Structure 1
Amino acid sequence: MRAPRSFGTVLLLALALVLVGVLVFQAQDAVRSHQRIAEATLNDYASFADWQLTQQTKSSVLSPIILSLSAQASRVDPRRLAETVASPEQAEADARAITEPWCRCLGGVKYFFRYDWSDGTFRTTANDLPDAEIAWARDTIVAYAKALPPMTGRPQTFGSPDARFGALRPLAVVLTNDSYAMVFADPARARVAVDSSVPQLLVFVVVREPSAGRPVVIYGYATDPRTYLGPTLSLIHRRNALLPPSLLRETAPDSILAISVTTLDGREIYRSPGYFPSAHSAADTLEANFGQLVMHVGLRPELASQLVVGGLPRSRLPLLAGVFVLTAGLLGVALIQLHRQQELARLRTEFVSGVSHELRTPLAQIRWFAELLHLGKLRTDEERARSAGIIDQEARRLTYLVENVLNFSRAEKGTNRITPASLDLEAEIRDAVEMFAPLARSRRMTVRASAIAGLTVTADRDALRQILLNLLDNAAKYGPAGQTISVGSSAAPATGGARVRFWVEDQGPGIPAADRDRVWEPYVRLSRSAESAMGGSGIGLSVVRELVALHGGAAWIEASNPDGGARVVVELPAHSALGDESRPELDALREHAPATSEH
């Protein structure tokens, strides 16, 4: 039933991760949707501002054209053409007299001109113009005049604005809004070499007769569009709110909007002060009679929060990704912990099974021989003595196993206590070997002890005996039948006699170097443990490590010989009474052959 429960837990964790992923996706999608709406709103504001700029530019630009050219145009009378047309010089004088008080936009005029439609005469105020430029100007205005739409019905005309002619009178010609025009030079079509970095602009009015709408005369001038349009565009930018005042509040229009005006082929005519590129921009192109100017308007990104409630939402992807990764990490940790708990549960189950098996063996022996004694089936004193010895041996074995479990339990709770005393290490090793000898004989093994006499250790007697018995039991379990288990001791080198060392080595397969630290952990049994014919609880070495640590000692595993085998070494403090005067004696003891005994 554990596997289904584990699968269900893993499935719930996976579903939780999927749910977090869906929530992260939904949150990010909501942010993206908000961003799209905010971006669209800002683009709409930019389009509105551009439309406002377009309308105000047409109105503002048309006024100086009409002011500068309408005076002479309105005087023309096709019936008395020779008397009513003015020379280019007169047209310039009238234009400047009327325009200058209102608009100083004629400072960049290169020349004024007049074109007579009847004979194709093109007159200018400049006498040194190249023939190519004259031809280009003539062709440009003629092409525009021919492209004017035909008049239907009687168009509205206005009276003469010139007070010198007395009261207003009906005009003899037709002047409509599209009669006034400005056209940029196009080098590719003008048959004249024009510097593309300095655009040229023709500003003119086409005077038409009222009946058929045929052109009569064209007045105009050539000028630098930057000096002609720049002041007007700058004034629009500074004084006119291209956005609703409720949006601008106290912010100056020129600080929130960037304006640029270019020709159709991209040559710049005007750029507002403090111009900045913007991702929220719009562009619109004016009609042909306004030179097909391209009006660009951009919004300052830093002021988006003023235009959009809440501002442009920032991307929360890093935060959401961090939350998702953190959640995935926590779920990963939970899975690891779940796996560890399952592994711990499995090891504990194996531990209980192993301990139960180990306890059952001596209990079965005790019960069997006790029944034989109780039922009187043992006839001789020798048999009865042998049975009593086996009962005593198995009782000791049972006591050792129970003590091992109790020591392990106390170690996990942190309640293990020791009472160190000065002990003769050789005697303790001998007693442990004698206690373990019957079990070794039952497994057809030999225990050989080679302990140096005179070594004194500071240790708890019961704990030291438990350490020795655990090491002997471990060697017996994982060594081959018929092996010889060796037990030895010596003064620890390079410690000046302050520590003593003893070891137990078997003739088994040995322990790989990579696993020599892991075998000290509770419940750990290596592959050689699984292959061994004898079971185990997996806590023997763990108890050894705990008891050695309580004594301030150290324990480690090393290879006993190149062909195999494992040697478990324990190092404990020597008796404190052994000071400097005893060290030569210890050195002498190392030189003597160790006492040897076999069981």
Structure 2
Amino acid sequence: MRSRASSILLGALLVLALAVTGMLAYEAHAAARSHRETAERALRDYASVAAWEMVASLGETLDAIAAPTLGSVTAGRATSPFEPLADPKSLEGQALPADRCPDGATPTIVAVDLRTGEVRSGTTNLAAPTIARLRDAIVGDVSENFRPERGYALLTPDGATPIVYGVRVAEHGAPLVAYGSTLCAATLGSRLVVPALRRRALLPWDVTGGVPADSLLDVTVSDPAGHALWRPGRPQASAFAGQAAADRVARLRVTVALRPAAITRLRIGPPPGSRLPLLVTLLVTTIGLLGVAVVQLRREQELARLRNDFVAGVSHELRTPLAQIMLFAETLRLGRARSESERRQAADIIVQEGQRLMQLVENVLHFARSERGIRPVAGSTLALAPVIEETLARFAPIAAAAEVTLESSLDASLLSAVDAGAVTQILLNLLDNAVKHGGSGGRVTVALARAGRDARLTVDDEGPGVRLADRERVWLPFVRIPTANSGAGSGLGLSVVRELVAANGGATRIEDAPSGGARFVVMFPLSDPQPRDHVVPSTTARRDRAAVR
């Protein structure tokens, strides 16, 4: 009962351990997934921050481009709302050499009177329709987006002539005049984007670890139609990108993507790899260990049951011969034997039962030694037939008491380097097993013959035989296969047989006997594997009917 309670408790603990492991695996997976999502979100946020920083840098760069040419007429506030237009030609002389196009064309200054809609231009190569489109674009942008603190703005009204403009304001921020300077479309990327990339760090230094941001980022600048104004030379695929719109810089679209190197260098660290394989391995390992524990628990329970059966069997095996010994010893001590033959019979029974006890004790002692790994077998070359004949004579009274006939056929020429005591114990156990399972009135046949380089010892009975499924199991300790003829036993006899045979270099197996019962086969290696023709195998038949009651 206590063993069953312990088994239930152990099983419950194992199931609880599996549940806890599963819960921990789920929590770890959820935590890893949350960490990964947080890291990926932070990386996308970094890309978005870099994109907005690029937009701010584009605005600052645009201000730096426009200030030398337009700063004199857009800075400060007009003292009068009727301030006249400045001469555009005079402003063209303030243009920087960098503002020139590769073909030598100089920027065109355009002045738009926001009060009257009048437009003036300096020395120009622009057609009148182009100037009109520039005027309309400036007027429209001022009406929609003007703020006194806005600064300069870049427009591309016809898709080919970019113009940067600023607004002259009066008191209270009222717009008076817009002054614009055309830029060279062919060099707009190098004139605007490249300085913007260098103007400010797109990511804080403490985030990049001191590594320049431009080596970690791919920056693409494109117009609203999607045409790239600037793109990296070798863009790298990235899952982490941010976008921002430069509204006052021609509404350019800025896309910043984190390069793979940036993902590992950013101080937040790379997104953690999936731990699912590790967690699955942990869970599978736990399930495997649980399975092993359950199998081991069942084996322990089976072993406990077998040992209980062993104790019961040994108790019965001891009680029966001890009762016989006590009975006939009391008969002799009290003088109840009426004749000399009765006294001799009582003494013979005491000897027989003592031999049974000795055999049982020898089996238990050998099993205990084998469990500790001790095999005290010291063999020497000997003839097997005499040892077998002596053992048969020793077992004859026990067979006679069970009304079993012993027959033997022995080859007297066979020699083997085995221990005589081990051979005796092997045969006694096989004979005892045959008598138990063969039943009363049966016959047990012992044969010794040459089989190639081995001596083949067989013991046949007339019992029900051993099923194929049980022919290996019966050699295990404590295992007893119940049959109609079998009685109580210790379950150690056949286990001891296999141990002793293996210790002497032999092998065991079970076959079907010609009589329909079981044939137990023991193979011993021969010391003289070559047959000698002048030695004739002896055949002995033992039918001691007088000993059979």
TM-score (norm 2): 0.80
Q: 1:299-352: per-residue Cα shift (whole Å, max 9, x none)?
A: 344344654256655555544544444444444434433333332222222111
Q: Which residue number in structure 1 is paired with residue 462 of structure 2?
A: 507
Question: Which of 417, 422, 426 is equivalent to 2:376?
Answer: 417
Residues 8-48 of structure 1: CA deviation (Å, up to 9, x unaligned): 11222332333344444444444444444444443333333
Does the residue aligned with 2:143 lie in a helix, a strand or coil?
coil
Q: Return the alpha-carbon distance in structure 1 between the equivalents of residues 199 and 103 of structure 2.
A: 23
Give 1:548's aligned residue. Answer: 501
Inter-partner Cα distance in structure 1 for 2:476 and 2:178: 110
- Of 200, 204, 212 in structure 2, the residue corresponding to residue 244 of structure 1 is 204
- Go from structure 1 to structure 2 and tell me whether the alpha carbon gap of 1:566 and 1:105 turns closer, same or farther (over 3 Å shift): farther
Matched position secondary structure for 1:251: coil
Matches within 5 A, 1:327-338: 327-338=286-297
| 2:475 is equivalent to residue 523 of structure 1 | no
Contact 1:181 1:290 in 2 (8 A): yes
22-31 vs 466-475, greater mean Cα deviation: 22-31
Q: Work out whether residues 65 and 180 of structure 1, in 8 Å CA contact, stay in contact via their aligned partners in 2.
A: no
User: Structure 2 matches for 1:282-293, cutoff 5 A?
Assistant: 282-287=242-247, 289-293=248-252
Aligned to 1:583: 532
Cross-structure match for 2:56: 55
Aligned equivalents of 2:394 and 2:94: distance in 1?
Answer: 132
1:508 counterpart SS class:
coil
Pairing 1:396–2:355 present: yes
Counterpart in the other structure of 1:439: 398
Number of the residue aligned with 2:155? 182
Tell me which amino acid in the other structure corresponds to 1:552. G
Give the match for residue 491 of structure 2: 538
Cα displacement (A) at 1:113: 10
Counterpart CA distance in 2 for 1:596 and 1:533 is 26
1:417/1:270 Cα in 2 relative to 1: closer, same or farther (>3 Å)?
same
1:487 Cα deviation after fit: 1.1
Residue correspondence of structure 1 range 369-408 to structure 2 within 5 A: 369-408=328-367
8 Å contact 1:109–1:222 — kept in the other structure?
A: no
Give SS of 2:521's match. strand
In structure 2, what is the Cα distance between the partners aligned to 1:460 and 1:539? 20
How many angstroms apart in 2 are the aligned matches of 1:201 and 1:380? 145
Does the aligned pair in 2 maintain the 1:238–1:253 contact within 8 Å?
no
Using the alignment, how far apart are the partners of 1:138 and 1:482 within structure 2? 132
Residue 209 and residue 309 in structure 1: after superposition, are their counterparts in 2 closer, same or farther (change >3 A)?
Answer: closer
Equivalent position SS for 1:12: helix
Taking structure 1 as reference, are residues 53 and 455 closer, same or farther at Cα in structure 2, changes over 3 Å only? Answer: closer
Structure 2 vs 1, CA of residues 106 and 286 (structure 1 numbering), >3 Å: closer, same or farther?
A: farther
Q: 1:111 to 1:443 in 2, by over 3 A?
A: farther
TM-score scaled by length of structure 1: 0.74
Secondary structure, aligned partner of 1:486: strand
Report the CA distance between 1:423 and its aligned residue.
4.0
Q: Could you say if the C-alpha distance between residues 102 and 463 of structure 1 is closer, same or farther in structure 2, counting changes exceeding 3 Å?
A: same
Q: For the residues of structure 1 that align with 2:111 and 2:59, how far apart are their CA atoms?
A: 25
* Equivalent position amino acid for 2:498 in 1: R
- Name which of 94, 97, 102 aligns with 1:101: 97
Measure how far apart 1:461 and its partner are.
2.5
Letter of the structure 2 residue corresponding to residue 228 of structure 1: L
State the match for 2:136 in structure 1. 142
> 1:16-415 alignment to 2 at 5 Å?
16-64=17-65, 95=92, 97-103=93-99, 125=125, 142=136, 145-146=139-140, 148-149=142-143, 180-183=153-156, 200=160, 202-203=162-163, 205=165, 224=185, 227-248=187-208, 250-287=210-247, 289-304=248-263, 306-308=265-267, 312-415=271-374
Q: Secondary structure at the match of 1:241?
A: coil
- 2:78 maps to none
Query: Would the aligned equivalents of 2:313 and 2:488 in 1 still touch at CA under 8 Å?
Result: yes
The DSSP-based 3-state class of the residue aligned with 2:513 is strand
**d(CA) in 2 for partners of 1:12, 1:25:** 20
3-state DSSP of counterpart to 1:598 = coil
**Residue 2 (structure 1) aligns with:** 3
Q: Which of 436, 439, 449 lines up with 2:408 in the alignment?
A: 449
Q: CA RMSD in A?
A: 4.3
Unaligned regions of 5+ residues in structure 2, if any? Answer: 76-80, 545-549
Tell me how far 1:270 sits from its aligned partner.
0.9
Counterparts of 1:278 and 1:488, CA distance in 2: 85
Question: Aligned pair count?
Answer: 534
- Is 1:11 equivalent to 2:12 in the alignment? yes
Alpha-carbon distance, 1:476 to partner = 2.4
Counterpart residue identity of residue 480, structure 2: R
CA distance in 1, matches of 2:409, 2:180: 130
Q: How far does residue 101 in structure 1 lie from its aligned partner after superposition?
A: 2.2
Q: Unpaired runs of 5+ in structure 1?
A: 157-175, 186-198
2:539 aligned partner, one-letter code: P
Assess, with a 3 A threshold, how the Cα gap between structure 1 residues 70 and 488 changes in structure 2: closer, same or farther.
same
Instruction: Report the counterpart of residue 159 of structure 1 in structure 2.
Output: none
Instruction: State the shift of 1:371 in Å.
Output: 2.4
CA contact (8 A) 2:101 2:184 kept: no
The answer to whether the 8 A contact 1:31-1:315 is kept is yes
Aligned mates of 2:17, 2:156 — CA distance in 1: 69
